[in-house]
Amino acid sequence: MHTTLYVKGEHLKETLKPGIRYEHKFVVPKSKTVPALYPEAEEFVVMPEVFATGFLVGFLEWACIKAINPHLDWPTEQSVGIHINVSHDAATPPGLEVKATVELIKVDGRKLFFSVEAHDGIDLISKGQHERFVINKEKFDASIANKTADNKAN
């Protein structure tokens, strides 16, 4: 049985605390370049084939998720991104391996604060902060279903 921390009606594992670090690696395919971000947008299609900022953000989120999943009651508990503030300082062509290094630096209830950076083996390509929020998947899905129903009713 896991020791838990009581937070606003939710129990979080005590192991979910600042200092959790994770490194995640990924070889950038052509499908994660700028033209692939919104293939229906001509403006994107004609842009250079380099790692897209949108996919970079997703990669950093992925690393944060992998860092904390062992410290959640996954998949019942999950986390969603609620804020991102990162640079994108260097272009990365397909075929290069990118490495994200993330660290959980603060826990405030179910709100999690990360320091994040990414490197492509040649350049530091990104650095900044990311925030995530721990959710109960079933409750979250129910609220989204209600939002969808409310939208259809209007």
Do the Cβ atoms of 102 and 67 come closer than 8 Å? Answer: yes
What percent of the chain is modeled with pLDDT above 70?
Answer: 94
Active-site positions? 53, 61, 88
- Torsions phi, psi for 30 (to 5 deg): -60, -25
Calculate the average pLDDT of the chain: 92
For the entire predicted model, the pTM comes to: 0.91
Interval 79-92 mean pLDDT: 98
Interval 14-32 mean pLDDT: 98
pLDDT at 55: 98
Interval 98-119 mean pLDDT: 98
- Partners of 111 in the beta sheet? 108, 133
Distances (CA, A) of 29 to 39, 94, 97: 15, 5, 9
Q: How confident is the model over 123-134, as pLDDT tens digits?
A: 999 999 999 999
Q: How confident is the model over 51-72, as pLDDT tens digits?
A: 999 999 999 999 999 999 999 9
Amino acid identity, position 153: A
pLDDT of 143 higher than 80? yes
pLDDT at 134: 97
First to last CA, the chain: 46
pLDDT at 94: 98
pLDDT at 10: 58
b/e 33-57 (16+ beta carbons within 10 angstroms → b): bbbbbeeeeeebeeeeebbbeebbb
Domains plus CATH for the chain? 13-153 (3.10.129.10)
